[in-house]
Structure 1
Amino acid sequence: MKNLIFLLITMFSLTALAVDPTEGLPEAVKAKYQAMTAGECQTDTPWGAESFDLQGKANLYIVPCFLGAYQSGALAFTSDKFSNVQVVTVLSYDEIIQAVTATIDLMEPSFDPETMTLSTYSKGRGLGDCGQTSTSKILVDDYGYVRVKTIEIRDKAECDGQYEDEWPVVFKQ
């Protein structure tokens, strides 16, 4: 009985904390997000979108898409001063075909405005002993045009219970 009560309290608490992930976004970004996700993303998440100024020339928006058991995913967008909205694409490593590919699905994204670095971390499983990380630089020109350049991908395919300080580099530029 105690477990049932705890479960109900937890469920209602999380529901009460849920927010619309698009709340506070500029209309152009919100419209692009909704058009791209077409109901595929959660409409209530524990946190909302994050917004970052890109050197006063553009903005970066990281919008939550889903919350899983041990990680979350998001989409990211840039918007210039003319409200031109672009989806952020980064490189990732596909273990099946053993090649670098492009993706818009960002796992556990974080952005450092000082270094203009966008990082992702995708766990292969909850233990976090395998998975993939990527590091990308956000580059903004004088006109507010934003480019995303992935500079490194690390991947550890084998989930073996061994925790390494750094996973093997599979891509670097």
Structure 2
Amino acid sequence: MFRHFVFLLSLLFLASPVTAQPASQKILAKVLAYHQKHADCDYQIDELSDDDLMVLNKQSSIVMVLCITGAYQGSSVFYMADNYDGEISVWTQTFATTDDGKKFTGTDSLTSADFDRKTKSITAFYKSRGIGDCGSTSTYTWSGNRFYLVEAGFMPCCAVTDEKSGSPQCKKFRKLREQ
């Protein structure tokens, strides 16, 4: 009789709704609050989903938040979130970027960015103008403690047009850096 009671009690416990928030939801809520307080964006976001989050290791995740919308491309800011024993700390991620392969600067936003969860990489593509004849690409990979620029490419905007067709005559795309 006692065994049946314990069995029924355990079924009742298992059927009860879980009220604890999953770790990803806690991280997303903390990042959203940080973003709404600190970001200077033209696009206001009210919620984030698991699609916006990439788990990097047991403690660290990165969250991509759309910040700027444009006619043909958008930019996102990225936030690192470390979760140690339930205490979540959030800060803005900075990425190395270049337009010419010679001068590198830091940016906290990437254009047309996407995650690759399998390789723990982020790729970005920026069109300098709508026709897409010039711009840059970059790939960043998680090293275990930070993101490194592992590949960048750039094609300068075309200044010369073909007289017959009126279409731009561009230089070939070139890779700037690969590690």
TM-score by length of 2: 0.67
Q: Does 1:90 align with 2:95?
A: yes
Query: Does the aligned pair in 2 maintain the 1:91–1:134 contact within 8 Å?
Result: no
Give the Å deviation of 1:156: 0.8
Distance 2:57 2:109 in 1: 25
Q: Which amino acid aligns with 1:147?
A: R
Distance 2:42 2:132 in 1: 24
Structure 2: stretches of 5+ with no match in the other structure: 1-24, 160-167
Distance 1:80 1:99, change over 3 A: same
Distance 2:61 2:74 in 1: 22
| Fraction of identical pairs, as percent | 25
Alignment of 1:98-113 (within 5 A): 99-113=103-117
Q: Per-residue CA shift, 1:62-85, capped at 9, x if unaligned?
A: 000121011001101121113121
State the match for 1:152 in structure 2.
Answer: 151
Alignment of 1:32-71 (within 5 A): 32-38=34-40, 40-43=41-44, 50-71=52-73
Distance 2:38 2:140 in 1: 22
State the match for 1:73 in structure 2.
Answer: 75
Larger Cα-atom Rg = 2
Q: Per-residue CA shift, 1:17-67, capped at 9, x if unaligned?
A: xxxxxx9863321232123224x331159x967112223332221000121
Which stretch of structure 1 is more off in the superposition, 50-59 or 122-131? 50-59
SS at match of 1:33: helix
Q: Which amino acid aligns with 1:151?
A: V
- The structure 1 segments of at least 4 consecutive aligned residues displaced by more than 4 Å after TM superposition are none
Distance 1:116 1:162 in 2: 36
State the match for 1:18 in structure 2.
Answer: none
Query: Does the aligned pair in 1 maintain the 2:43–2:67 contact within 8 Å?
Result: yes
State the match for 1:167 in structure 2.
Answer: 173
Structure ranking higher on relative contact order (CA contacts 8 Å, 6+ apart) = 1
Count of aligned pairs: 142
Alignment of 1:132-151 (within 5 A): 132-140=136-144, 146-151=145-150
RMSD: 2.9
Q: Which amino acid aligns with 2:29?
A: E
State the match for 1:121 in structure 2.
Answer: 125
Query: Does the aligned pair in 2 maintain the 1:124–1:159 contact within 8 Å?
Result: no
SS at match of 2:143: strand
Distance 1:24 1:58 in 2: 13
Which stretch of structure 1 is more off in the superposition, 70-79 or 80-89? 80-89
Query: Does the aligned pair in 2 maintain the 1:100–1:171 contact within 8 Å?
Result: no
